[in-house]
Amino acid sequence: MQRIIVMTLAFTGCRIGELLGASWSALDLKAGQFHIRTSLADSDPGEEMIFKKPKSKSSERTVPLSKELVQELRLWKIKCPPSERDLVIVSDRGKPVRRRVVSEMLSGILKDLKIEKELTPHSFRHTFASLLLAKKRPVPEVTKLLGHADSAITYRTYAHPVPGEETSSVQELSASILENVSTDVSITATNVS
């Protein structure tokens, strides 16, 4: 289950509640799509888990699944314990998994790897969005994938410089200027002749 949680969060940018609330019917493994229509909200310990619609209307969306994630999900579906709501992420007893359990799992993974850094379920969403923007994907596309209502939120929250990006940008600008300058110089030289 750990592998599926990490891969799904990292490869889709979904919110943790969206993953924990997802049923198998929300995953179209043949088409490679995750139809986000339900979210699992926090409830007090001992109380019934709360399944509800996602955060906003724009949060109800369809996210593409990579071939690698589809393959892992197919394998997990065979091993996944049955549950009342046919959930993708369930405990060994087929019960919904709380956010706290996922956070503790991630902390345990980092401890085992001797990594002294905090990693939350939201860290995967942040990395997903930041990497897409760093790869020059259009902000409206990333906004839609994240389920934001406004591209400004996406850009303000997730657009960060990537180390080395500044050097690359300056090089690209320099090459463009030199190309245009040499074109202008050759045109001027032709006009003078």
**pLDDT score, position 188:** 47
**pLDDT score, position 103:** 93
184's tokens? 């202008």
173's tokens? 């600008």
**How high is the mean pLDDT of the chain?**
86
Task: Classify burial at 20, counting beta carbons within 10 Å of its beta carbon; exposed 0-12, middle 13-18, buried 19 or more.
Answer: buried
124's tokens? 């995967």
Tens digits of per-residue pLDDT, 8-50?
Answer: 999 999 999 999 999 999 999 999 999 999 999 987 777 888 9
Cβ–Cβ under 8 Å, residues 107 and 128: no
Question: Global pTM?
Answer: 0.79
Share of the chain above pLDDT 70, in %: 84
Weakest mean pLDDT among 16-20, 80-84, 94-98, 162-166: 162-166
Tens digits of per-residue pLDDT, 95-118?
Answer: 999 999 999 999 999 898 888 888
Closest CA to 23 of 8, 39, 11: 39
**pLDDT score, position 118:** 87
- Tell me what the mean pLDDT of segment 136-148 comes to: 90
Collapse the DSSP code of 116 into the 3-class scheme (helix H, G, I; strand E, B; otherwise coil) and give the result. coil
Closest CA to 97 of 88, 106, 107: 88
Task: Classify burial at 136, counting beta carbons within 10 Å of its beta carbon; exposed 0-12, middle 13-18, buried 19 or more.
Answer: exposed
Q: Which domains does the chain have, with CATH numbers?
A: 2-122 (1.10.443.10)
> What is the layout of strands, in order, in the sheet containing 33-36?
27-28, 33-36, 61-64
Cβ–Cβ under 8 Å, residues 137 and 54: no
Q: Is the pLDDT of residue 151 over 90?
A: no
- Tell me what the mean pLDDT of segment 75-97 comes to: 95
**pLDDT score, position 174:** 64
Beta bridge partners of 61: 36
The string of DSSP codes covering 63-74 is EE--HHHHHHHH
From residue 107, how far is each of 45, 71, 104 by CA, in Å?
Answer: 20, 26, 5
